[in-house]
Amino acid sequence: MADDFLFPAMRAYLDGLVPPRHPELQAMEAEAARTGFPIVGPAAGQFCYFITRLLGARSVFELGSGFGYSTAWFARAVRDNGGGVVHHVVWDEDLSARARTHLAVLRLDDLVQFHVGEAVATLRASPGPYDLIFNDIEKKDYPASLPAIVEKLRPGGLLLVDNVLWRGRVLDPADAADSTAGVRTLTRLIVTDPAWTATVVPIRDGILAAQRR
Ligand SMILES: C[S@@+](CC[C@H](N)C(=O)[O-])C[C@H]1O[C@@H](n2cnc3c(N)ncnc32)[C@H](O)[C@@H]1O
């Protein structure tokens, strides 16, 4: 199933409602389409921007950042909130270098701290606490990332988790892949824990939004 499995026509419609974007963001979207790299895309990017503005977040930590597309949406929001920091973390040197270039062109790089390494270990080693944490690492590793997130998110802070519908695979009881199990387990851990107020927003591949009480 594609990551617009719910309503194939809906994705283009929702992306089309997002205001015009900087040419560099459009170039990043084209780069993702050309190479098949999984970015959040315009509608989910706009949702990330919106929620970061609503929260007034000044400190954001991204787990699994890619070439900086989602980072750019968070950094724009943090800039518009008055400034702060967005942590970009990926274990691939080349992706980190590409992100530095893109964010420099967007003039957002002064807000971003770049880390090359394993994302959960980097979060654990960082001082925190953060206003917002965005999780987009390997799906099988989602459940194990939760304790570090809980430790580093401030009370009232927001967790966003991408791909919680996992292209519909979470709906298939026969799908017992580690990735699918990881997505299902993290989702259940959060929605059944009274310490979180959570909802799944079915934009693109599904984003879990959860506030820590
Ligand atoms: C889905 S992509 C990120 C896309 C990005 N959020 C965006 O929308 O622009 C996830 C990236 O994080 C990397 N990654 C996955 N698990 C990771 C981990 N545990 N630590 C560091 N990087 C990780 C992957 O190799 C990939 O480059």
Residue 92 beta carbon below 6 angstroms from any ligand 1 atom: yes
User: What is the pLDDT, as a whole number, of residue 11?
Assistant: 87
Q: Which of 91, 112, 142 to mutate to test the pocket of ligand 1 (most atoms within 8 A of CB)?
A: 91
Q: Is the pLDDT of residue 7 over 70?
A: no
For the stretch 160-186, pLDDT in tens is 999 999 999 999 999 999 999 999 999
Q: Is the pLDDT of residue 4 over 70?
A: no
Ligand 1 atom with the shortest distance to the CA of 62? 6
For the stretch 139-157, pLDDT in tens is 999 999 999 999 999 999 9
Residue 29 beta carbon below 6 angstroms from any ligand 1 atom: no
- Give a yes or no: residue 26 inside a domain: yes
Q: Which of 26, 61, 90, 135 to mutate to test the pocket of ligand 1 (most atoms within 8 A of CB)?
A: 90
- Give a yes or no: residue 2 inside a domain: no
Q: Is the pLDDT of residue 193 over 80?
A: yes
- Give a yes or no: residue 140 inside a domain: yes
Q: How many CB atoms lie within 10 A of CB 28?
A: 25
For residue 198, the CA-to-ligand 1 centroid distance in Å is 23
For the stretch 33-37, contacts whose Cβ atoms lie closer than 8 Å and that sit 24 or more positions apart, written own/partner, are: 37/66, 37/67
Residue 96 beta carbon below 6 angstroms from any ligand 1 atom: no
Here the CATH number for the domain that contains residue 152 is 3.40.50.150
Higher pLDDT, 12 or 98: 98
Residue 39 beta carbon below 6 angstroms from any ligand 1 atom: yes
The count of domains in the chain is 1
For the stretch 17-67, pLDDT in tens is 999 999 999 999 999 999 999 999 999 999 999 999 999 999 999 999 999
User: What is the pLDDT, as a whole number, of residue 6?
Assistant: 65
Q: What does the mean pLDDT of the chain come to?
A: 95
Q: Is the pLDDT of residue 2 over 90?
A: no
User: What is the pLDDT, as a whole number, of residue 30?
Assistant: 97
- Give a yes or no: residue 3 inside a domain: no
Question: N- to C-terminal Cα distance for the chain?
Answer: 35
Q: Is the pLDDT of residue 197 over 60?
A: yes
Q: How many CB atoms lie within 10 A of CB 82?
A: 8
User: What is the pLDDT, as a whole number, of residue 137?
Assistant: 98
Q: DSSP letter string over 67-86?
A: TSHHHHHHHHHHHHTT--EE
Counting residues of the chain whose pLDDT is more than 90, the rounded percentage is 94
User: What is the pLDDT, as a whole number, of residue 10?
Assistant: 85
Q: How far, CA to CA in Å, does 196 sit from each of 53, 102, 142, 185?
A: 20, 34, 16, 15
Rounded to whole angstroms, the Cα distance separating 54 from 7 reads 27
- Give a yes or no: residue 1 inside a domain: no
Range of the domain at 49: 8-212
Instruction: Compute the radius of gyration of the chain from its Cα atoms.
Output: 16
Q: Is the pLDDT of residue 188 over 80?
A: yes
Q: Per mean pLDDT, which range of 3-7, 13-17, 33-37 is the poorest?
A: 3-7
